[in-house]
Structure 1
């Protein structure tokens, strides 16, 4: 067998398939956009790395912003991650960007990608790391994120959304205990854990809740996007009229049929860490959502510990969660990247 074919197959093994709307795994059907924040590498050499890894045509439309077209993963953007980024290229704008480079991260944003393209993103990330790009653990206040924008299994009606939101909400304290976030990520407001009242409301509804019940719970308990799983873009897509009544968020959320999974941090240089590692932790939530028996076990376990604080998670609760998950727990190894699976 051709060595390149073998290497591609092995790389793809790190990215288990996403379930479809009917719960069956589909080889390449659902797409995922990737957002990667990093520091300590200037935008021009970073842009050159993207072109060298992925091919395509590179352009520099504005100060602090680059665009790669027709690459092996389609189009992607690289820019300084700041709302103060200039809207034009000029001598003054370039000076402002030069100052901003010292204090704000760069961000790469891809278009929605088929699963078969994800190993190429991982190789690009390895090249950035080799060139000196830093992650969240390289600076006290870096807090750089890696976001996955995973397409809903049912982008028209969101029938998968209540179960997936429930699965993630039940798993979230356990996931954070298995592999704690760096302090630089925890002190920033972007990835707060779901409120306990929200999780309790979802657990009480169980796996048979419909989208309306989920949105009722979101309206009652979720006030902004700053959680490990941001449900508001999908809410705005599926129920635009209802979402428009949420005045505080209506102007700040881009409606799209995706789970905006924003809990992961960028960890360039950490042994064992990769895009595939974070992907598998998300896949755990999807597989729990697709398994009614497992979802029921986790709901019941939440009830067993109703009066026990789970922040930090109680050790007995962690152990019982691991037991309830069975082999699925291997998708999120205890101890984080590099731990035995």
Structure 2
């Protein structure tokens, strides 16, 4: 494998324990089967002889042998995956009907449901390897969300938090809330993904409260405020996995969703998958996320932008005649955060 191009790094590259921060990457696409994709992932990571393919079910393949953990290649359809984990028995009427239903569901799903590659938590210094994989997948015929009006394919990033103290968590959340409108403009989210409410904006009432001067809750208060306003995974920055890792009972008491996987990461769900575009790779959404990282790591500038955004949100005339996305772009440029 050729040496991958290094990606730019955030100001905080280590955890509070002094370990290199990690990032999980998820990318969705069509145009390739699960088996074809797994073979390509294996070739990029290990060459043709390395790694081991394991089949948890008929619609998912795990690739073992990476010190960071297992890679997953799967059809992104939880119900069909659950069927695929059961042994097929078609020697009676009930089994035959279930087998027919599974085959019909599979044929429908393969037209509209993406294949998804899910990396293990990779050290940040290894993120460039994802670009080598994207290049190989594109060359093999992978297609992104713009290829068909029915597609709603995304790329999701799961950056590990540098620390779990309340100030760090609040600063990242505030940074994202200040930048969300600007990020949405940058991403130009696919229409189908917007219509399916894949990553809804944070409610402006919650944003106004959270970026207000003097918002300094304890960690339990930060989590409670979030859960009260956002009891859903469908946010551009989904903090439920992080909060479920930090305080599982508090999250379970408010949100009943088995899809929430506790982990010490931010779950950035906004970017489209544009894998078929020759000029697109992980660096495009990653560079946008780095603006959040830089702002969160600079409390003085963050406090200034929060105050500016809070004033904008509390000025009805300014909201009617102004454009926060443009103001934010200008502010970021003037403060050397781009």
TM over 0.5: yes
Cα distance between partner residues in 2 of 1:291 and 1:130: 40
Q: Secondary structure at the match of 2:118?
A: strand
Counterpart-to-counterpart distance in 2, 1:35 and 1:274: 13
1:50–1:72 distance in 2 versus 1, CA, 3 Å: farther
Taking the aligned partners of 1:44 and 1:310, their CA distance within structure 2 comes to: 54
Aligned mate of 2:330, from 323, 326, 341 = 323
| Matched position secondary structure for 2:277 | coil
Change (3 A) 1:204 1:218: same
By how many angstroms is 1:266 displaced?
0.6
CA distance in structure 2 between the partners assigned to 1:243 and 1:35 by the alignment: 24
Contact residue 44 and residue 132 of structure 2 kept, 8 A: yes
Task: Report deviation, 1:240.
Answer: 2.1
Instruction: Choose from 2, 9, 12 the match for 1:19.
Output: 12
Q: Secondary structure at the match of 1:102?
A: helix
2-structure distance, mates of 1:72, 1:240: 28
Q: Any residues of structure 2 matched to 1:90-129 within 5 Å, and which?
A: 90=88, 92=99, 95=103, 97-129=106-138
Asked whether the equivalents of residues 146 and 262 of structure 1 are also in contact (C-alpha less than 8 Å), the reply is yes
Q: How many Å separate the matches in 2 of 1:183 and 1:119?
A: 29
Q: Any idea what the Cα deviations from partners look like across 1:57-104, whole Å, max 9, x if unmatched? A: 223342121111114764201111102222136484884545532231
2:250 is equivalent to residue 242 of structure 1: yes
Match of 2:283 among 276, 279, 304: 276
Contact 2:71 2:118 in 1 (8 A): yes
Query: For residues 20 and 211 of structure 1, what CA distance do their matches in structure 2 show?
Result: 23
2: CA distance between counterparts of 1:210 and 1:324?
29
Aligned residues, how many?
Answer: 318
Match for residue 81 of structure 1? 76
Are 1:70 and 2:65 matched, yes or no? yes
Matches within 5 A, 1:201-220: 201-205=209-213, 208-220=216-228
What's the counterpart of residue 31 of structure 1? 22
- Looking at structure 2, the residues matched to 198 and 273 of structure 1 have their Cα atoms a distance apart, in angstroms, of 33
d(CA) in 2 for partners of 1:142, 1:150? 25
CA RMSD of aligned residues (A): 2.9
In 2, Cα distance between equivalents of 1:79 and 1:22: 30
TM superposition shift of 1:206? 5.2
| Higher-RCO chain (CA-CA 8 Å, sequence separation at least 6) | 2
Mapped contact 1:135–1:144 kept (Cα < 8 A):
yes
Partner of 2:194: 186
Which TM-score applies when normalising by structure 2?
0.84
Return closer, same or farther for 1:17/1:170 CA change in 2, 3 Å cut-off: closer
Q: Structure 1 residues 205 and 255, CA, compared in 2 at 3 Å: closer, same or farther?
A: farther
1:149 aligns with 2:125: no
| Superimposed CA distance per residue, residues 318-337 of structure 1 (whole angstroms, 9 cap, x where no aligned partner) | 33322322366774xxxxxx
2:34 alignment partner in structure 1: 43
- 1:57 is aligned to 52
Equivalents in 1 of 2:8, 2:222: separation in Å? 28
Contact 2:242 2:265 in 1 (8 A): yes
